[in-house]
Structure 1
Amino acid sequence: MPVLEREQPKGPKDSNVLPKLPVPPLQQTLDMYLKCVEHLVSKEQFRKTKVIVEKFGAPGGAGELLQKKLLERRDKIDNWVYDYWLEDMYLNNRLALPVNSSPVMVFPKQTFRDRNDMLRFAAHLISGVLEYKALLDGRALPVDHARGQLAGTPLCMEQYYRLFTSYRLPGPKQDTLVAQKSSVMPEPEHIIVACKNQFFVLDVVINFRRLNETDLFTQLDKIMKMADNAEERLPPIGLLTSDGRTQWAEARSALMKDSTNRDSLDMIERCLCLVCLDDPCGLDLNDTNRALQMLHGGGHTKIGGNRWYDKPMQFVIGMDGVCGVVCEHSPFEGIILVQCSEYLLKYMRGSPSKLVRAASVTELPAPRRLHWKCSPEVQGFLASSADNLQRLVRNLDMEVYMFRLYGKDFIKKQKMSPDAFIQVALQFAFYRCNGRPVSTYESASIRRFREGRVDNIRSATAEALAFVKSMTDGKSSVPAAEKMKKLWDAINAQTSYTVLAISGMAIDNHLLGLRTIAQELKMEKPDIFTDETYWTTNQFILSTSQVPTTVEMFCCYGPVVPNGYGACYNPQQDHIIFCVSSFRDSTETCSAVFAKALEECLVEMRDLCNKCNAAAKPSDQKEGAAKPVKNGSKP
């Protein structure tokens, strides 16, 4: 079964005009790999790793054969790493989607005076979604172009066309990313509205006419009244989608035994998106609590069942004003989510609601409640899913922190890249808290290439470590000018690796390709991939991503390892929004402590820059060598 069943668009395929993703030279990747890991492992371990890597890359070695096969694969398909990366990053991952995988975009808090206010907002939002989808259907979305490093390059647009046509189907060992197939006579388009843990079909096209906002408001009002009927309420089936992927696959198989459930699943799996109408969460609505509500809904005792996590786009609208998007991450990257979200918020601000308070003049068929037949087996799965989600809710430690002392304008005045500067600050903060460097992931867009997704910027550079040591271990003994030189070295190392990554020359995708080719050839796994260094440095204790926005909102996600941090940041002109996450059951992490250290480190870096004026920077520093870099978002 193919991992992704791609829908063939009617118009010209944007990605065909772009170059194919290159396969980096083998020796270049092996040399860079050694450079990236040397300071992250013990000297003894590195000596062993160096011997293993040299053997792998020697003439006639395993690396030479695998590289040859990888080059052959590149010649045959549009993007040699796409399927490998998708399976490794997402589809093979058995963890639950909420917190572990699905990022969220938190919109500005809304103020609804009553239920009608909330429904007007929802109707206006749905109208914007339909406008945006019309642009996608007509292939009328302008092509994105790169900013920052290598600015002006056109970018692959294929991820946009998966926003409303994809679905992640759970499997016992591997999920499948399915694209809806087009047909000669498509069924009426519909969205699914979740309300009080129930699911309703809202047709947005009836008799070949798209519903206007008055009609949408009328239908949403009917749905809320239907959901209020306690006698007809069914078990919160959506909780099943919040469980581990293998458990959900087993529960779905149990559901599929009944035709009623099959019909309901079919309607959800083929919908454009979900709109989740939430009851108030009952919490103080600070940024952190709004982020938590979006990430997991507070568990089964609150709003956690009012979701269907397999659908890529879930628009959440809470009666208490908590609004945003929950994203199933496998079809597209965070920047696509940002662009769609910004379009919708600008649409809602710039286009006054066309809602007329009078009832719809058209007699509309009532929305349909989806029904479920719950066998004892399904009820058992529901109880287990509810417990597992509650554990996840209790375990997540989230800190949304706004650093207000400066933003990207100050960093640009230093002629430094804001992204590189913040990445060095993250290294500084972790070292201050733990006294050691750790392997770090920063996503970098490779949309310059056909079907491009992301590769990894390995931000834990030797140069960053040298700088943070000078600011901590040698705080009083290292002169400010030398610290400043080390900061510039760290900034430039980060920027150089960023350029490598966005040019398709980073190491992580390449090593993944070599490893997967070896599996396909049924070779004994090469030592480089069983070596302790490879596995420890692929455990990303710091999982980071820059997700900049031009509209007031922020993105957040959970850690990717049990003892790690998720660190998403949004640099604005005069402030930076950080969303730091970790797990409470880890004795090695604390989100509030990390955020506090980050603040202190950013202040010290500012003070160092102010102390060392432009004349004090190294004479060989080339003007503009560290211009701002803007990358894609989380894996």
Structure 2
Amino acid sequence: MAEAHQAVGFQFTVRPDGVDLKLSQEVIKNIYLSGVTAWKKRAIQFKNGVLAGVYPASPSSWLIVVIAMMSTLYTHIDPSLGMIDTIKENLPLRGYISVQTRAVLSAILFATGLWLFLIYLLRYTLKALLSYHGWIFESHGKMSTSTKVWLSLVKMFSGRRPLLYSFQASLPRLPVPNVEDTIDRYLDSVRPLLDDERYKQMEMLASEFKESQAAQLQRYLIFKSWWATNYVSDWWEEYIYLRGRGPIMVNSNFYIMDLLYVIPTHRQAARAGNVVHAMLQYRRKLERGEHAPLRALGTVPMCSTQMERMFNTTRIPGIETDIVQHLTDRKHLVVYHKGRFFQVWLYTGGRHLLPSELETQFSRILNDTSEPQPGELKLAALTAGNRVPWAQARIKYLSQGVNKASLDVVESAAFFLALDEEPQGYDAARSGSLDGYAKSLLHGKCYDRWFDKSFTLVSYPNGKMGINAEHSWADAPIVGHMWEYVLATDCFHLGYTEEGHCKGDVNKCLPHPTRLQWNIPKECQNVIETSYLSAKKIADDVDFHGYLFNDFGKGLIKKCRTSPDAFIQLALQLAQFRDQGEFCLTYESSMTRMFRDGRTETVRSCTSEAVAFVRAMEDDQSTLNCLVSEIEIPLEQINECHQVISREVTLCCWG
């Protein structure tokens, strides 16, 4: 009851002699501090929005241009070629403003217009420079003189200290390839997979498509590219992800591991406290747009649009298609432990909870001995099964009363935290430890992750962490950048005491985490069980084996002036052929974030050249062995790498 009284700002009692009013100074102070923090946040967001809106110029440059124009009034030099005088003659309220005041206002208006023109000129110049992509196709380790000059120009027009969204207006749009190139590339991608007869049939189908429907469809595509910032990203999100009616667990969601060899603390609550606090710091900088934009070669900017929905985001199931719900300024997270759902507030007194305060809250949840309510234990299995039953159950059983209130808390949370009961992580002395760790992050028990949240943070009893991320809102590098920031902040900035606890004083006056209440009928429990069994069948079918290859890495491959990605792709093709005796259509993702709102494109790595390489490796009479022996990687090590991939790793090949 003490916690309940702390949440009351004032109490009053009506008595015969009057009204007895009691104010809680602590709560009133917290309300005041929360308001101050909210207004400070809005002010910072407005300031950063202005800075990003005028980039690559700055607000101070406007003052410089105005002063330069004002000085011309006294030197009798008119750089505006008469435009200032025209503005002065057409100003309203001429009879109420002196001639000198009108001259000053005219100079200011002209200077402002000139400043805006220069901003747009700089932006479109930078956009034109960024439309050049020849640097991507140059030989590995080499850079032509023209590319060096281009990089210098990009740096010159990029301005100083850009914010996260500073380059958005300068990024070029994704170009629409012409039909002939598209058809030629398609035929090239299927040529290694088809015999001569089937390939001739494919050529005939391609020619028929080109002569009949291609021109009309191409016009529609070009028309869309004129009014959409990206002609393909919205379709990609909807048709690749949101319209899929099958389970997203395993099939779509991906995972990210913790540091393999480092465990900063073995205390579960402490590690979760530091990591959650670091995420809150990252989110604050993200909401303010203060992160530096990612730039290839340290110069070429990447689109930052995907980062907007990292927090406070949930995939909402639908009958025909799902939607992505993104909210702003969410101040709580939901924690799952032993079948119970808890709501934990992330703010107190207008500030984030400190790591030690978060550790206290998570310790309270870990020490809670209450039992799950009927149907609560496997409730999250609904997010792991087929989408249609989940959408129907959500509408029928979870859209009213206490269920709706609790579901709203889950879906509106900043993110989802699962406090697991079984330790995981890489252990060199324990065979299969990496396999179990990966499978735990990928699907867990099929009911202890809320797979619809933008990401679920997973915490283990031995201090290890990990992430399971929903895929529709963004691609893996977006979450990866956040996770790198969090791990670095956790290890190098926040740290732990000698006992492994979070640094800082322990605040035991915080209100306890709130148990979410559910009233799940028997019919809904049957749907939950059906979804669980469906998801468990998928999880049991996942055959994963991770192998740490330590003989050489990307550094040695780069010394051979070879792309590590190309090396691994060729190893995959060789492993696939040795294992199956044939080639298959292979998908490799390639990000298009150099374009506005870019996401992902497809690279078909099973090329004619890759097939020729594989056949040469399998030919004892080939001269390839002689060529390989000339480089620094011994042939037996390359073969070992290929054999390891073939034997130990599930191939990432799709037909």
**Pairwise same-fold verdict (TM > 0.5):** yes
TM-superposition CA deviations, 1:328-358 (whole Å, max 9, x none):
0111111111111111110011113473575
Letter in 1 for 2:379: I
Letter in 1 for 2:647: A
Matched residue, 1:471: 617
Matched residue, 2:162: none
TM-superposition CA deviations, 1:205-235 (whole Å, max 9, x none):
2342321122212222222233x21276743
Matched residue, 2:493: 351
Residue 309 (structure 2) pairs with residue 129 (structure 1) = no
Matched residue, 1:460: 606
| CA contact 1:197–1:307 (8 Å) conserved in 2 | no
The answer to which structure, 1 or 2, has the higher relative contact order (CA under 8 A, 6+ apart) is 1
Alignment of 1:367-406 (within 5 A): 367-406=513-552
State the distance in 1 between where 2:503 and 2:438 align. Answer: 33
Moved more, 441-450 or 257-266: 257-266
> Alpha carbons of 1:218 and 1:353: their partners in 2 closer, same or farther (altered >3 Å)?
same
- Structure 1 or 2, whichever has the larger Rg, is 2
Alignment of 1:41-120 (within 5 A): 41-58=194-211, 61-108=212-259, 117-120=267-270
Matched residue, 1:196: 338
Alignment of 1:201-280 (within 5 A): 201-226=343-368, 228-230=369-371, 234-280=376-422
Residue 481 (structure 2) pairs with residue 339 (structure 1) = yes
- The structure with the greater share of residues assigned to helix is 2
In the TM superposition, what is the alpha-carbon distance from 1:456 to its structure 2 partner? 0.7
Matched residue, 2:646: 594
TM-superposition CA deviations, 1:401-427 (whole Å, max 9, x none):
112221112211221111111111111
> Alpha carbons of 1:250 and 1:431: their partners in 2 closer, same or farther (altered >3 Å)?
same
Matched residue, 1:160: 307
| CA contact 2:443–2:449 (8 Å) conserved in 1 | no
TM-superposition CA deviations, 1:244-278 (whole Å, max 9, x none):
22222122223324311111111111111111111
Letter in 1 for 2:406: S
State the distance in 2 between where 1:51 and 1:264 align. Answer: 58
| CA contact 2:441–2:467 (8 Å) conserved in 1 | yes
State the distance in 1 between where 2:447 and 2:565 align. Answer: 37
Residue 571 (structure 2) pairs with residue 421 (structure 1) = no
Matched residue, 2:320: 173
> Alpha carbons of 1:50 and 1:341: their partners in 2 closer, same or farther (altered >3 Å)?
same
| CA contact 1:105–1:324 (8 Å) conserved in 2 | yes
State the distance in 1 between where 2:236 and 2:354 align. Answer: 41
| CA contact 1:190–1:272 (8 Å) conserved in 2 | yes
**In angstroms, what is the RMSD of aligned CA positions?**
3.0
| CA contact 2:335–2:418 (8 Å) conserved in 1 | yes
Matched residue, 1:364: 510
State the distance in 1 between where 2:338 and 2:650 align. Answer: 39
State the distance in 2 between where 1:77 and 1:596 align. Answer: 44
| CA contact 2:339–2:372 (8 Å) conserved in 1 | no
State the distance in 2 between where 1:289 and 1:246 align. Answer: 30
State the distance in 2 between where 1:347 and 1:323 align. Answer: 14
State the distance in 1 between where 2:597 and 2:467 align. Answer: 24
Matched residue, 1:571: none
TM-superposition CA deviations, 1:548-572 (whole Å, max 9, x none):
xxxxxxxxxxxxxxxxxxxxxxxxx
State the distance in 2 between where 1:113 and 1:401 align. Answer: 25
State the distance in 2 between where 1:256 and 1:293 align. Answer: 28
Moved more, 214-223 or 258-267: 214-223
Moved more, 37-46 or 308-317: 37-46
Query: Percent identity of the aligned residues?
Result: 28
Letter in 1 for 2:190: V
Alignment of 1:624-635 (within 5 A): none
In the TM superposition, what is the alpha-carbon distance from 1:160 to its structure 2 partner? 1.4
5+ residue gaps, structure 1: 1-8, 488-573, 581-590, 600-633
State the distance in 2 between where 1:231 and 1:174 align. Answer: 31
State the distance in 1 between where 2:398 and 2:182 align. Answer: 47
| CA contact 1:172–1:249 (8 Å) conserved in 2 | yes
> Alpha carbons of 1:360 and 1:232: their partners in 2 closer, same or farther (altered >3 Å)?
farther
State the distance in 2 between where 1:468 and 1:222 align. Answer: 58
| CA contact 2:277–2:352 (8 Å) conserved in 1 | no
The alignment of Structure 1 onto Structure 2 pairs a total of residues equal to: 473
| CA contact 1:21–1:450 (8 Å) conserved in 2 | yes
State the distance in 2 between where 1:281 and 1:121 align. Answer: 13
Matched residue, 1:517: none
Matched residue, 1:328: 470
| CA contact 1:91–1:174 (8 Å) conserved in 2 | yes
State the distance in 2 between where 1:593 and 1:214 align. Answer: 44
Matched residue, 2:191: 38
Q: What is the TM-score when the length of structure 1 is the normalising length?
A: 0.70
State the distance in 2 between where 1:95 and 1:592 align. Answer: 32
> Alpha carbons of 1:388 and 1:112: their partners in 2 closer, same or farther (altered >3 Å)?
farther
In the TM superposition, what is the alpha-carbon distance from 1:291 to its structure 2 partner? 0.5
In the TM superposition, what is the alpha-carbon distance from 1:42 to its structure 2 partner? 3.0
